Amino acid sequence: MFRHFIKALLPFRNQLSRTVGGNGSAFQQNCLSKEEKLTEALKKSLPGITYISVEDISGGCGAMYEISIEAKEFVGLSTVKQHRLVTESLKSDIAEMHGIRIHTTPAKGDN
């Protein structure tokens, strides 16, 4: 009886593997979109960003990110205040993460 059930599912197996596999795994696509989502959220809240890098450093599961930012908003602020600006911008996203590494640098002025 179990063999008949498996044979009945055979036509759907190929369809399911295409859906899950696609262009890279769904897992990889989710990580990329999460990195893009974080980048867009930061660009929206800190329009003076001159450099930004958001990288999933958790091995692909989206649990930990490393963020490097250079922004005009950081000029004259302590590192703690710079990091606070970043964490406030990503407050809801950070709640879903295991950890985050933040590197900030004030942008140099246009002399």
For residue 96, the enclosing domain spans 46-106
Please list the ranges in the chain whose pLDDT falls under 50: 16-22, 111
Report pLDDT for 41. 94
Report pLDDT for 29. 57
What CATH number is attached to the domain comprising 98? 3.30.300.90
Spell out where 11-98 has E strands. Answer: 49-56, 64-71
In a domain, 62, yes or no: yes
Computed from CA positions of residues 81, 82, 85, 91, in that sequence, does the dihedral angle turn out positive or negative? negative
Contacts of 12 (CB under 8 A, 6+ apart): none
Q: What is the pTM of this model?
A: 0.68
Q: Total domain count for the chain?
A: 1
Report pLDDT for 77. 96
